[in-house]
A and B are shown apart, each in its own frame.
Chain A
């Protein structure tokens, strides 16, 4: 479960991204965070993933109050949360295999186990044949799927995606959305941000709307 209680986030420059946000996402639930650019969607997702810390209020993920965790504990928590970044955050000087293997190498898994899991993740997103390719050689949609493979390779209980269908053509976007639905169907909590209203309809999930850093009526 992910629980936000009166959460506010102010960045060092003074920009207030979130104000008094309280929301709960149950385990195994799929939630879409919507809102315009600058509404605070990405900040909310980063707080849930332990990438950012709340300025005030509490964020609890799987029973752990993230504000009370030290840097090392927070990093270890991030290993259990799959995050798909809006700008992919891929390493373009490494192969697809190496990109997907990165979370497993960080966790210290053996080469054999890494290879097995990477191939399974790439197979899940339909990129097994591109295992040795460089991400530069992939299309935008394929790069997005590569990010998903990297996010699921550690078998996380929570999957968070920041604008996963942004800049994708409708067919690719539908394929990506279907992937998230399939993960959610096997019990993974899915939290994603989007401004694709049509896509939300297809997802058929709960919607949390943000406007200027506060919760808005859906």
Chain B
């Protein structure tokens, strides 16, 4: 019971110290919250971009467009030639009628397309190739472009692949940002707690003389740091969510036609909880280091 009471007393003391300087405490929490909110916002932005690009096919494809006058024999001949190529993993034929139907269904050009008296789209082959090396893809394009009745050969997967690489790079940057800003949070909490320790120096010295152990002295400061981290984590998530909600609203207003693809992805509840717990843990670590350092400086001396 005494152990639990000591912890309750320490928590109460931490809250008393917190409430003793409401404005300063609030600003401290706000500074920490902004530091924590930055990677949370970055994470949401990356997830939103990731979500928008995840449906884009980033497999290496080369599209082979035939001339408009290509006959069924030409289609068959070119198809066999493509399938026989060692770099072709899969070959899919897209008839010009199907291409037109898909274009009508997925774009806003249906009305314009309806006014045309003939289908302007050619037959095409989509070839999934075994390589992404620019040199080999370039050779494939050059070889297949020479085939009679082939109009154009495009390798348009590169931008999507590049985008995917950027998203992946963004993820790695985000990890670095988490580490850096996490360190900053621990440092800021540590600094704030250090000031608290210095403010209570006389009380600490008297307490030590009267029999307080290092753990007794440390405990309220650790609770103070943890509570600061916890509140800052909660506020950071609230700030980030508020900002994301506003961004989502603006995005919908700006791009109503693409709203489904460009929606803001919020961080799930479990990860929200993890952010708050991690912030509290950083507060604990920062305050622990600061208190340990300061207590070494003044031991029990009358």
A residues contacting B by CB (< 8 A) are: 42, 46, 51-52, 71-72, 75-80, 83, 85, 89-91, 102-103, 105-110, 150, 162
Query: B215: which A residues are within 8 A, CB to CB?
Result: 72
Q: How far is it, in angstroms, between the C-alpha of A150 and the C-alpha of B2 when the chains are bound? A: 21
A46's contact among B206, B212, B214, B302, by CB below 8 Å, is which? B302
Q: Which residues of A are found within 8 Å of B216, using beta-carbon distances?
A: 75, 106
A52 to B208, CA, bound (A): 12
Q: A51-B302, A108-B2, A108-B9 are in contact. Are A71 and B213 (CB under 8 A)?
A: yes
Within 8 A of A (CB), among B247-302: 300-302
The B contact surface, by secondary structure, is helix
Contacts of A85 in B (CB 8 A): 209, 302
CB pair B6–A108 under 8 Å, yes or no, is yes
- Interchain nearest-CB distance for B204 vs A (Å): 11
Q: Contact at B214–A106, with CB atoms within 8 Å?
A: no
Instruction: Scan B209-240; emit 1 where CB is below 8 A from any A CB, else 0.
Output: 11111111000000000000000000000000
Secondary structure at the A interface, as helix, strand, loop or mixed, is helix
Chain B residues near A52: list those with CB within 8 A.
301-302
A76 with B210, Cβ < 8 A, contacts A51-B302, A89-B302 known: no
Identify the interface centre among B3, B9, B203, B209: most chain A CB within 10 Å of its CB: B209
Given known contacts A42-B302, A72-B215, A106 and B209 CB-to-CB distance under 8 angstroms:
no
**Judging by beta carbons under 8 Å apart, are B211 and A106 in contact?**
yes
Q: How far is the CA of A80 from the CA of B210 in the complex (A)?
A: 9
Whole-angstrom CA separation of A150 from B302 in the bound complex = 16
Interface status of B69 (Cβ within 8 A of chain A): no
Does B202 belong to the interface (CB within 8 Å)? yes
Bound: A103/B213 CA distance, A: 12
Return the contact of B213 from the options A42, A72, A109, A110 (Cβ within 8 A).
Answer: A72
Q: Is the CB of B209 within 8 A of A51?
A: yes
Kindly state the separation between the CA atoms of A102 and B207 in the bound complex, as whole angstroms.
7
Show 28 A/B contacts (Cβ-Cβ < 8 Å), sorted by A: A42-B302, A51-B300, A51-B301, A52-B301, A52-B302, A71-B214, A72-B215, A75-B211, A75-B216, A76-B213, A77-B211, A78-B211, A83-B209, A85-B209, A89-B206, A90-B206, A91-B202, A91-B203, A102-B206, A102-B207, A106-B207, A106-B210, A106-B216, A107-B2, A108-B3, A108-B6, A110-B5, A150-B210
